[in-house]
Protein backbone atom coordinates (compact mmCIF):
# COMPACT_ATOMS: atom_id res chain seq x y z
CA UNK A 1 0.00 0.00 0.00
CA UNK A 2 1.56 3.30 -1.00
CA UNK A 3 2.86 5.35 1.88
CA UNK A 4 3.26 9.08 2.20
CA UNK A 5 6.06 9.57 -0.36
CA UNK A 6 4.63 7.14 -2.92
CA UNK A 7 1.26 8.87 -2.68
CA UNK A 8 2.85 12.23 -3.41
CA UNK A 9 4.63 10.72 -6.39
CA UNK A 10 1.29 9.63 -7.84
CA UNK A 11 -0.26 13.03 -7.09
CA UNK A 12 2.43 14.70 -9.20
CA UNK A 13 1.66 12.41 -12.10
CA UNK A 14 -1.48 14.42 -12.76
CA UNK A 15 0.44 17.73 -12.79
CA UNK A 16 0.21 17.97 -16.61
CA UNK A 17 -3.55 18.42 -16.16
CA UNK A 18 -3.24 21.43 -13.88
CA UNK A 19 -4.87 24.60 -15.23
CA UNK A 20 -6.68 22.69 -17.97
CA UNK A 21 -10.39 22.18 -18.55
CA UNK A 22 -11.91 18.72 -18.19
CA UNK A 23 -13.58 18.40 -21.57
CA UNK A 24 -15.07 14.99 -21.03
CA UNK A 25 -15.42 12.55 -18.15
CA UNK A 26 -15.86 8.78 -18.27
CA UNK A 27 -16.35 6.50 -15.29
CA UNK A 28 -17.39 2.97 -14.44
CA UNK A 29 -20.52 3.70 -12.40
CA UNK A 30 -21.06 0.94 -9.88
CA UNK A 31 -17.37 -0.01 -9.69
CA UNK A 32 -16.26 -0.74 -6.15
CA UNK A 33 -13.88 2.23 -6.14
CA UNK A 34 -16.99 4.46 -5.99
CA UNK A 35 -18.43 2.67 -2.96
CA UNK A 36 -20.45 5.01 -0.80
CA UNK A 37 -20.67 7.59 -3.60
CA UNK A 38 -23.43 8.74 -5.91
CA UNK A 39 -21.71 9.17 -9.27
CA UNK A 40 -24.76 10.63 -11.00
CA UNK A 41 -23.60 14.25 -10.53
CA UNK A 42 -19.93 13.77 -11.39
CA UNK A 43 -20.30 14.75 -15.04
CA UNK A 44 -22.17 17.93 -14.15
CA UNK A 45 -19.56 18.94 -11.57
CA UNK A 46 -16.38 18.10 -13.43
CA UNK A 47 -17.05 18.49 -17.15
CA UNK A 48 -16.10 22.04 -18.09
CA UNK A 49 -14.25 22.60 -14.81
CA UNK A 50 -10.56 23.51 -14.58
CA UNK A 51 -8.25 21.44 -12.37
CA UNK A 52 -6.79 24.10 -10.11
CA UNK A 53 -4.95 22.44 -7.23
CA UNK A 54 -3.72 19.09 -5.94
CA UNK A 55 -2.94 18.13 -2.37
CA UNK A 56 -1.55 15.07 -0.62
CA UNK A 57 -1.96 14.20 3.03
CA UNK A 58 -0.70 10.90 4.35
CA UNK A 59 -2.23 8.25 2.12
CA UNK A 60 -4.89 10.57 0.70
CA UNK A 61 -4.98 12.89 -2.29
CA UNK A 62 -7.33 15.72 -3.19
CA UNK A 63 -7.75 17.46 -6.55
CA UNK A 64 -9.63 20.77 -6.58
CA UNK A 65 -11.62 22.00 -9.60
CA UNK A 66 -13.19 25.33 -10.48
CA UNK A 67 -16.80 25.42 -9.40
CA UNK A 68 -16.05 23.77 -6.04
CA UNK A 69 -15.61 20.12 -7.03
CA UNK A 70 -13.04 18.25 -4.93
CA UNK A 71 -11.98 14.78 -6.07
CA UNK A 72 -10.61 12.63 -3.25
CA UNK A 73 -8.37 9.68 -4.17
CA UNK A 74 -7.10 6.82 -2.04
CA UNK A 75 -4.97 4.36 -4.00
CA UNK A 76 -5.57 1.34 -1.79
CA UNK A 77 -3.32 -1.52 -2.83
CA UNK A 78 -3.23 -1.41 -6.62
CA UNK A 79 -4.63 2.00 -7.55
CA UNK A 80 -2.59 4.38 -9.70
CA UNK A 81 -2.86 7.73 -11.42
CA UNK A 82 -1.51 8.08 -14.97
CA UNK A 83 -1.52 10.50 -17.83
CA UNK A 84 -2.19 9.16 -21.30
CA UNK A 85 -2.03 10.88 -24.65
CA UNK A 86 -5.12 12.33 -26.39
CA UNK A 87 -7.31 9.71 -27.99
CA UNK A 88 -6.47 7.10 -25.35
CA UNK A 89 -8.92 4.19 -25.25
CA UNK A 90 -9.59 3.29 -21.58
CA UNK A 91 -8.97 -0.26 -20.38
CA UNK A 92 -11.27 -2.22 -18.13
CA UNK A 93 -9.37 -1.17 -14.99
CA UNK A 94 -9.50 2.55 -15.86
CA UNK A 95 -12.40 3.51 -13.63
CA UNK A 96 -12.15 7.30 -13.99
CA UNK A 97 -10.96 9.11 -17.11
CA UNK A 98 -10.74 12.90 -17.42
CA UNK A 99 -10.12 14.08 -20.98
CA UNK A 100 -8.37 17.40 -21.42
CA UNK A 101 -6.76 19.20 -24.33
CA UNK A 102 -3.62 17.25 -25.20
CA UNK A 103 -3.93 14.54 -22.57
CA UNK A 104 -6.04 12.18 -20.52
CA UNK A 105 -5.95 11.80 -16.72
CA UNK A 106 -6.61 8.21 -15.64
CA UNK A 107 -7.34 6.54 -12.33
CA UNK A 108 -6.87 2.77 -12.67
CA UNK A 109 -7.24 0.06 -10.06
CA UNK A 110 -7.18 -3.63 -10.93
CA UNK A 111 -8.25 -4.95 -7.52
CA UNK A 112 -10.35 -1.95 -6.47
CA UNK A 113 -9.17 -1.62 -2.88
CA UNK A 114 -8.73 2.07 -3.69
CA UNK A 115 -11.58 4.54 -3.57
CA UNK A 116 -12.71 7.84 -5.00
CA UNK A 117 -15.11 10.49 -3.74
CA UNK A 118 -16.34 13.84 -4.99
CA UNK A 119 -17.38 16.65 -2.66
CA UNK A 120 -18.56 20.16 -3.27
CA UNK A 121 -17.02 22.91 -1.14
CA UNK A 122 -16.58 26.57 -1.90
CA UNK A 123 -13.53 28.50 -0.69
CA UNK A 124 -11.36 25.56 0.30
CA UNK A 125 -11.15 21.80 0.78
CA UNK A 126 -14.17 19.90 2.09
CA UNK A 127 -14.75 19.25 5.76
CA UNK A 128 -13.40 15.69 5.82
CA UNK A 129 -10.06 16.89 4.45
CA UNK A 130 -9.80 19.69 7.00
CA UNK A 131 -10.40 17.20 9.78
CA UNK A 132 -7.47 14.96 8.88
CA UNK A 133 -4.84 14.65 11.63
CA UNK A 134 -1.72 16.86 11.43
CA UNK A 135 0.66 15.85 8.65
CA UNK A 136 3.82 14.36 10.13
CA UNK A 137 5.94 17.08 8.51
CA UNK A 138 3.73 19.90 9.80
CA UNK A 139 4.03 21.98 12.95
CA UNK A 140 0.82 20.43 14.23
CA UNK A 141 2.62 17.12 14.56
CA UNK A 142 3.97 18.24 17.92
CA UNK A 143 5.82 16.44 20.69
CA UNK A 144 2.67 16.73 22.83
CA UNK A 145 0.61 15.13 20.01
CA UNK A 146 3.02 12.18 19.74
CA UNK A 147 3.52 11.82 23.48
CA UNK A 148 -0.21 11.90 24.20
CA UNK A 149 -0.88 9.01 21.83
CA UNK A 150 2.05 6.97 23.17
CA UNK A 151 0.61 7.34 26.66
CA UNK A 152 -2.92 6.45 25.56
CA UNK A 153 -1.72 3.27 23.88
CA UNK A 154 1.12 2.51 26.26
CA UNK A 155 0.60 -1.26 26.17
CA UNK A 156 0.40 -1.52 22.36
CA UNK A 157 3.47 -2.51 20.34
CA UNK A 158 5.13 0.60 18.94
CA UNK A 159 4.88 -0.89 15.43
CA UNK A 160 1.07 -0.99 15.70
CA UNK A 161 0.93 2.56 17.04
CA UNK A 162 3.10 3.87 14.19
CA UNK A 163 0.65 2.36 11.69
CA UNK A 164 -2.29 4.24 13.20
CA UNK A 165 -3.33 6.63 10.41
CA UNK A 166 -5.20 8.81 12.88
CA UNK A 167 -1.88 9.68 14.54
CA UNK A 168 0.88 9.08 11.99
CA UNK A 169 -0.86 9.72 8.64
CA UNK A 170 1.06 8.29 5.72
CA UNK A 171 3.32 6.03 7.79
CA UNK A 172 2.95 2.46 6.55
CA UNK A 173 4.78 -0.80 6.98
CA UNK A 174 8.15 0.04 5.45
CA UNK A 175 8.32 3.53 6.99
CA UNK A 176 7.51 2.16 10.44
CA UNK A 177 10.26 -0.46 10.09
CA UNK A 178 12.75 2.17 8.90
CA UNK A 179 11.93 4.45 11.86
CA UNK A 180 12.25 1.64 14.41
CA UNK A 181 15.51 0.38 12.93
CA UNK A 182 16.98 3.88 13.14
CA UNK A 183 15.92 4.12 16.77
CA UNK A 184 17.15 0.65 17.72
CA UNK A 185 13.65 -0.36 18.82
CA UNK A 186 12.14 -3.81 18.47
CA UNK A 187 8.70 -3.60 16.77
CA UNK A 188 7.01 -5.13 19.81
CA UNK A 189 8.41 -2.59 22.26
CA UNK A 190 5.47 -1.23 24.30
CA UNK A 191 4.59 2.29 23.15
CA UNK A 192 4.61 3.42 26.77
CA UNK A 193 8.39 2.87 26.87
CA UNK A 194 8.67 5.87 24.55
CA UNK A 195 6.37 8.19 26.47
CA UNK A 196 7.97 11.27 27.95
CA UNK A 197 11.44 12.29 26.81
CA UNK A 198 11.86 9.53 24.14
CA UNK A 199 8.77 10.79 22.30
CA UNK A 200 10.89 13.68 21.05
CA UNK A 201 13.26 11.22 19.37
CA UNK A 202 10.40 9.29 17.83
CA UNK A 203 8.90 12.47 16.38
CA UNK A 204 12.31 13.43 14.99
CA UNK A 205 12.82 10.10 13.24
CA UNK A 206 9.27 10.03 11.81
CA UNK A 207 9.79 13.45 10.28
CA UNK A 208 13.32 12.66 9.11
CA UNK A 209 12.29 9.49 7.28
CA UNK A 210 9.21 11.22 5.81
CA UNK A 211 11.19 14.18 4.46
CA UNK A 212 14.01 12.09 3.00
CA UNK A 213 11.55 9.70 1.39
CA UNK A 214 9.84 12.67 -0.25
CA UNK A 215 13.10 13.75 -1.89
CA UNK A 216 13.67 10.32 -3.45
CA UNK A 217 10.56 8.16 -3.88
CA UNK A 218 8.22 11.14 -3.71
CA UNK A 219 10.09 13.04 -6.41
CA UNK A 220 10.95 10.44 -9.03
CA UNK A 221 10.39 7.00 -7.45
CA UNK A 222 14.15 6.64 -6.99
CA UNK A 223 15.49 4.50 -4.15
CA UNK A 224 16.55 6.02 -0.84
CA UNK A 225 20.30 5.78 -0.08
CA UNK A 226 22.02 2.41 0.38
CA UNK A 227 22.35 3.16 4.09
CA UNK A 228 18.57 2.70 4.54
CA UNK A 229 16.94 -0.51 5.77
CA UNK A 230 14.46 0.10 2.94
CA UNK A 231 16.93 -1.17 0.38
CA UNK A 232 17.13 -4.64 1.91
CA UNK A 233 13.83 -5.29 3.65
CA UNK A 234 11.94 -7.02 0.86
CA UNK A 235 14.45 -9.57 -0.32
CA UNK A 236 15.51 -12.49 1.86
CA UNK A 237 19.15 -13.03 2.71
CA UNK A 238 20.23 -9.48 3.44
CA UNK A 239 22.07 -8.16 6.45
CA UNK A 240 21.74 -5.01 8.52
CA UNK A 241 23.24 -2.15 6.50
CA UNK A 242 24.59 -0.43 9.60
CA UNK A 243 28.41 -0.36 9.48
CA UNK A 244 30.02 -2.76 11.99
CA UNK A 245 26.78 -4.77 12.36
CA UNK A 246 25.99 -6.88 9.29
CA UNK A 247 23.70 -9.18 11.31
CA UNK A 248 21.21 -11.08 9.12
CA UNK A 249 17.89 -9.25 9.14
CA UNK A 250 14.79 -10.88 10.60
CA UNK A 251 11.45 -10.97 8.75
CA UNK A 252 8.57 -12.01 10.91
CA UNK A 253 5.08 -10.99 11.66
CA UNK A 254 4.92 -8.29 14.32
CA UNK A 255 1.82 -6.30 15.24
CA UNK A 256 -0.07 -8.03 12.44
CA UNK A 257 2.34 -7.14 9.66
CA UNK A 258 5.37 -8.76 8.07
CA UNK A 259 8.11 -6.71 9.65
CA UNK A 260 11.84 -6.47 9.12
CA UNK A 261 14.35 -5.67 11.81
CA UNK A 262 17.92 -6.26 12.95
CA UNK A 263 18.06 -8.56 16.00
CA UNK A 264 21.37 -7.00 17.10
CA UNK A 265 20.43 -3.33 16.73
CA UNK A 266 16.82 -3.89 17.85
CA UNK A 267 16.81 -6.36 20.76
CA UNK A 268 13.44 -7.47 22.13
CA UNK A 269 12.08 -5.53 25.10
CA UNK A 270 12.43 -7.02 28.59
CA UNK A 271 10.24 -10.04 29.11
CA UNK A 272 9.65 -10.70 25.44
CA UNK A 273 10.91 -13.79 23.70
CA UNK A 274 10.17 -13.29 20.05
CA UNK A 275 8.69 -16.13 18.06
CA UNK A 276 10.75 -17.25 15.13
CA UNK A 277 8.13 -18.57 12.80
CA UNK A 278 9.26 -17.97 9.27
CA UNK A 279 6.78 -16.02 7.20
CA UNK A 280 6.58 -15.76 3.44
CA UNK A 281 8.17 -12.54 2.29
CA UNK A 282 7.00 -10.48 -0.60
CA UNK A 283 9.93 -9.51 -2.74
CA UNK A 284 10.52 -6.60 -5.03
CA UNK A 285 7.18 -4.97 -4.39
CA UNK A 286 6.42 -1.97 -2.24
CA UNK A 287 2.72 -2.47 -1.98
CA UNK A 288 1.02 -4.64 0.59
CA UNK A 289 -2.55 -5.67 1.25
CA UNK A 290 -4.39 -2.82 2.99
CA UNK A 291 -6.80 -5.33 4.49
CA UNK A 292 -3.91 -6.76 6.49
CA UNK A 293 -3.11 -3.43 8.14
CA UNK A 294 -4.05 -2.60 11.69
CA UNK A 295 -4.33 1.08 10.78
CA UNK A 296 -7.60 2.96 10.86
CA UNK A 297 -9.93 2.71 7.92
CA UNK A 298 -9.26 5.72 5.70
CA UNK A 299 -11.96 8.39 5.69
CA UNK A 300 -12.42 7.96 1.95
CA UNK A 301 -14.01 4.55 2.36
- Tell me the backbone φ, ψ of residue 64, rounded to 5 degrees: -100, 140
Piece of 81-89, 102-110, 162-170, 234-242 that binds Zn ion (CB under 5 A): 234-242
**262 is a site residue for Zn ion (CB under 5 A):** yes
User: Least distance from C-beta 251 to Zn ion, angstroms?
Assistant: 14
Question: In whole angstroms, how far apart are CA 94 and each of 29, 89, 101, 207?
Answer: 12, 10, 19, 34
Out of 150, 217, 240, 250, the residue judged to bind Zn ion by CB under 5 A: 240
Out of 211, 231, 238, 242, the residue judged to bind Zn ion by CB under 5 A: 242
Whether residue 298 lies in the annotated active site: no
Q: Which residue, 269, 143, 261, is CA-closest to 198?
A: 143
User: Least distance from C-beta 249 to Zn ion, angstroms?
Assistant: 8
Q: What is the CA radius of gyration of the chain?
A: 20
Question: In whole angstroms, how far apart are CA 264 and each of 181, 184, 244, 245?
Answer: 10, 9, 11, 8
Piece of 35-43, 77-85, 194-202, 241-249 that binds Zn ion (CB under 5 A): 241-249
**39 is a site residue for Zn ion (CB under 5 A):** no
The interface mask with Zn ion, positions 186-225, x = CB under 5 A, is ----------------------------------------
**238 is a site residue for Zn ion (CB under 5 A):** no
Which residue's C-beta sits nearest to Zn ion? Answer: 240
Comparing CB distances to Zn ion, the nearer of 59 and 182 is: 182
Whether residue 290 lies in the annotated active site: no
**How far from the centroid of its chain's Cα atoms is residue 53's Cα?**
20
Comparing CB distances to Zn ion, the nearer of 4 and 229 is: 229
Single out the catalytic residue among 190, 257, 288, 298: 257
**231 is a site residue for Zn ion (CB under 5 A):** no
Out of 136, 265, 290, 298, the residue judged to bind Zn ion by CB under 5 A: 265
Whether residue 257 lies in the annotated active site: yes
Whether residue 268 lies in the annotated active site: no
Piece of 140-148, 167-175, 189-197, 254-262 that binds Zn ion (CB under 5 A): 254-262
Active site members = 2-3, 59, 257
Q: Which residues bind Zn ion (CB under 5 A)?
A: 240, 242, 245, 247, 262, 264-265
Amino acid sequence: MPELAEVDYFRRRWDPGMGKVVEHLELHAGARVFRGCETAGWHELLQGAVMEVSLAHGKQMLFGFSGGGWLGVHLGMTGELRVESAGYEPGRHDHLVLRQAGGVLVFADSRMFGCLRLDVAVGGPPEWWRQLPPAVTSGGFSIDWVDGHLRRRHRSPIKAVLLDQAVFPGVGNWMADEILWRMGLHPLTPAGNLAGAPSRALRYHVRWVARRAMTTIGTDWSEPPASWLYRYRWAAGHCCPRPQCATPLVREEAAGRTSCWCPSCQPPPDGLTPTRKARPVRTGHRRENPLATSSARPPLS
